[in-house]
Chains A and B, each alone.
Chain A
Amino acid sequence: MEIILFIAKFGLAFIPLSCIAIMIFLERKGASIIQDRVGPNRAAIKIPGIGSVRGFGMIHNISDSVKLFFKEDFLPKHAHKWYYILAPMLPLMTAILTPALIPWFAPISLEGVEVSGAIINANSGLLMLFALGALSVYGVVIGSWASHNKYSLLGGMRASAMMISYEVSMGLSVVGLLLLIGSFNMTDIVEWQAANAWGVVVQPVGCLLFIVSMFAETGRTPFCVSEGESEIVGGFHTEYSSIRFALFFMGEYAHIVIASALIATLFFGGYHLPGLNTEVIHAHTAGVLAGLLAVKALMLALFCLMTTRQKKLYGALKASDKAVRLKEYSLFQIIFGGGALVAVLIAAVLMFIPMDGLLSELLTAAIQISIVMAKTMFFCWVFVWVRWTVPRFRYDHIMALGWKVMLNVALVNLVITAIVYKLLIETGVISG
């Protein structure tokens, strides 16, 4: 039983990998929404009997990845071969490793076996997460050095300097929270939040600092100086092409997913929702599931409405491929509308299925995984949102912000937290 579960939990390692595809879609479509344009909508696949389907630009992911796989894998003569090949693997590797430490659901007991929500329920969980997260910069630094290109070198220098600076404030920003919780174990951290209050409530400043540090860690705009496409051409990946370039990007996107999951876990209650702690879900599994399915049905109905609107707009246009596209829209209407109905039906049926121990345990875990994923996706969207809103920092401004502002604020936050916490214990408001 334990072995089967252990293997099953390995599936969680693929969460960031599968989220990369969603992230790319989210990024491109999010950008097009923010930038007042249509976005990717050209790539289509022909399904026999149904016709050409574009999937709101989702097909672009497939065509892009196929393109990147089959492009010439160029290895510059002047590059250091082995490091050049090794570098793109590192960020993705660390990003795939990290979800092993994030608790995706509350510990459950299956036939007497305690199963933790994280693949590795280590007591040093958070430290390991930070250690793994910090490793990803090696890919950038090694890649830039091995490329033997001046722009790459500049990008690598910026990346390493930024990583070192922000690693400090990132570590310090969570110390306040850890002081209150008293554990590095990720499950303990979430359980404490479920029992008391979310991290963002008790440590608002720490939360803000942590989110900003996470932007720096992932090297996203406004901290994208290591890439800085208008300044230093492509930064660290100037010399990279085809799938190696894609690996860097998959690493970046996987890192965003991990960073979002971390923000959600450390400061936004992880798998906990107010009023929906593990016991409640466990006691009313069918009801909660039905509620979630109702939300799902509502969303699908909204999608159906959106498709209907688009179909109407498209129908009013002059276009050569009108028949094909209208057929596609009808297909989406059926899928979304039907999906909504099916969700409602399942929700109704669920009410009459008795939830015994094992099924209830597993469904509770599934519900909690979806809660974590929902929060993670929200923060992924924040990453996209910020990227298309603000300009890029200048390198020295990032350093000044990191060392002169964030580090000091984090320290002051820590000291104030410690003093207030001590005073509260002394006065007996809370028990230590």
Chain B
Amino acid sequence: MKVQHSNGDTLDLMTVNMGPSHPATHGALRIFAALDGEDVTAAACEMGYLHRGFEKMVEQGTFNMVLPYTDRLNYCSSMMNNVGFCKAAEKMFGVTVPERCQLLRVIVSELSRIIDHLVCLAANLVDLGALTNYWYLFNPREEVYKIWEKLCGARLTNTFSRIGGLYRDAYPGFEGEVLNVLKSIETGVADVRALIDTNRIFIDRTRDVCPVSGEDATAWGWTGPCLRASGVDYDLRKAEPYYGYDTFEWDTVIGTTGDTYDRIMVRAYEIVESVSIVRQAVDRLRPGPVDSDDTRVSLPPKQLVYHDMEALINQFKLVYEGVRPPVGECYDGCEAANGELGFFIVSDGGTNPYKIKVRPPCLTQFAAFADMIEGYQVADVFATLGSINIIAGELDR
């Protein structure tokens, strides 16, 4: 393909479709690139190959029926999406969940963040050609999945949170297993760090590759680890603390240049911070109720249902019709593994949501991707694509 450069040169470019089916796109994305040898001269990105109509589907069911759909957004950290949606819905109701529920949500959220980061790091390192790290990171992830199985019965699309509480309380022995898993996570991450920290090839391939400045990242609307890698100290857990995140002792991890190296390392260090949060949360876990006592969202206790007419009607209405949020609009976001996962909910007072709009964290990152990779090499494209952690399920919805 012959093209005229703005400075008058004639370039002979080769156009390449990377994706939608490509070993490194992890899902279905398309990067249409014009290559000058190995250099990407121009690129255009396309999404939508995994579009399932999430936002239309959820209007067909009740509010609680939205929850299983949210699992499919970021399928690497399903539990967190549930928490995000429940948090938004509870804000609509004005319900506060009990202490134990909050702590359990923190634990599953942080474990989800950890496994999401593990997947991101593992896949990114595989894209760089370092295959062994994959197993070092996936073995602890598997242990987390065993906990997920015990908590909610599913492996991939786990749904644990419910509006106003949880599916059920944690099983006996949950705390011990979580603490054990944390140990193996720390071992896995330490093994990988030992392999990559001083590895010249790794550093050469990631440092100063596709950097994004703090201003650019903010302008693109980035959130989460990628934004923090660019040096912007913004974390919803600190900026708008929820579930007592401000009471835990932890630090936000900040990068300096916003290159691929920073994005990888911010994730690696965030795992360490999350491990510390989970330890503190497990420490604070005390027996207690996990569902709020608000009758609009939670089922009344069985004892009451059998003896009390109002409670029976309440149970009947909640089961047969579902929860009914007040008329109005509400936006609430939580710090998901990739960044701010927001839900904008419009309710017309009925049992079905009138409209739910998702703010997926990786959409903004993918929007910037074409600009990021221009001028870099083919190999850098995939090193960077891995580092911004595009999850097609959440990107296309």
Interface residues of A (CB under 8 A from B): 31, 34-37, 150-151, 154, 157-158, 221-222, 224-225, 228-233, 388-397
B38 pairs with A230, CB closer than 8 A: no
Segment with Cβ contacts to A, from B124-132, B250-258, B317-325, B346-354: B124-132
Tell me the bound Cα distance from A229 to B131 in angstroms.
Answer: 11
Instruction: Find out whether the CB atom of B132 lies under 8 angstroms from the CB atom of A231.
Output: no
Given contacts A395-B38, A396-B38, contact A231 B382 (CB under 8 A): yes
Would B205 and A389 count as touching, CB distance under 8 A? Answer: no
Q: A221-B129, A394-B204 provided; 7 other pairs, C-beta below 8 A?
A: A151-B16, A154-B378, A230-B128, A389-B132, A394-B377, A394-B380, A396-B38
Task: Write the chain B residue with the least CB distance to A36.
Answer: B135
Q: Which of B88-96, B98-106, B195-203, B266-274 contacts A (4 or more CB under 8 A)?
A: B195-203
**A35 and B131 contacting across the interface, CB-CB below 8 Å:** yes
**In the complex, B139 has a CB within 8 A of chain A:** yes
- Give 26 pairs: A residue, B residue, CB < 8 Å, sorted on A: A31-B131, A31-B132, A35-B132, A36-B139, A154-B16, A154-B35, A228-B129, A229-B23, A230-B23, A230-B126, A230-B128, A231-B127, A231-B378, A390-B129, A391-B125, A391-B128, A391-B199, A391-B202, A391-B205, A392-B379, A393-B201, A394-B380, A395-B38, A395-B378, A396-B38, A396-B377
* Bound-state Cα–Cα, A425 to B125, Å: 52
Distance (whole angstroms) from the CB of A417 to the closest CB of chain B: 27
Whether B205 pairs with A394 at a CB distance below 8 angstroms is: yes
Q: Cβ of A393: which chain B residues have Cβ within 8 Å of it?
A: 201, 204-205
A35's partner among B14, B24, B125, B135 (CB-CB below 8 A) is B135
- The A/B interface has a contact count, at CB < 8 Å, of 85
Which of chain B's residues have a CB closer than 8 A to the CB of A230?
23-24, 126-129, 382
Indicate which residue in B16, B132, B139, B199 contacts A388 across the interface (CB closer than 8 Å): B132
How far is A222 from B204 in the complex, measured between Cα atoms in Å?
A: 13
Instruction: Let me know if A224 and B129 touch, CB within 8 A.
Output: yes
- Tell me if B168 counts as interface (CB < 8 A to partner A): no
Confirm or deny: B222 has a beta carbon within 8 angstroms of a beta carbon on chain A: no
CA distance A393 to B204 in the complex (A): 8
- CB <8 Å contact, A231 and B379: yes
Q: In the complex the two chains form, what is the Cα distance from A226 to B199 in whole Å?
A: 21
Interface 1/0s, chain B 235-269, versus A by CB < 8 A?
00000000000000000000000000000000000
Contacts of A390 in B (CB 8 A): 129-130, 199, 201
B22 interface residue (CB < 8 Å to A): yes
Contact B129 A222 (CB under 8 A): yes
Q: In the assembled complex, which residues on chain B have CB atoms less than 8 Å from the CB atom of A224?
A: 129
- A interface footprint on B109-137 (CB within 8 Å = 1, 0 otherwise): 00000000000000001111111101110
In the complex, A233→B136 CA distance in Å? 24
For the complex of A and B, 8 pairs with smallest distance between CB atoms: A392-B129, A391-B130, A35-B135, A230-B24, A391-B128, A230-B127, A394-B379, A391-B129
Query: Which residue of chain B lies nearest to A234 when distances are taken between CB atoms in the complex?
Result: B23
**B residues in contact with A34, CB < 8 Å:** 132
- Whether A389 contacts B195 by the Cβ 8 Å rule is yes
Please determine whether A392 and B378 come into contact, CB atoms closer than 8 angstroms.
no
Contact indicator A150/B201 (Cβ below 8 Å):
no
Bound-state CA distance A222–B202 (Å) is 11
> For residue B126, which residues in chain A have a CB less than 8 angstroms away from its CB?
230
Q: Which residues of B contact A397 (CB under 8 A)?
A: 201, 204-205
In the complex, how many angstroms separate the beta carbon of B204 from the nearest chain A beta carbon?
Answer: 5
Closest to A229 in B: B23
Within the complex, what minimum Cβ distance (angstroms) separates A332 from chain B?
A: 26
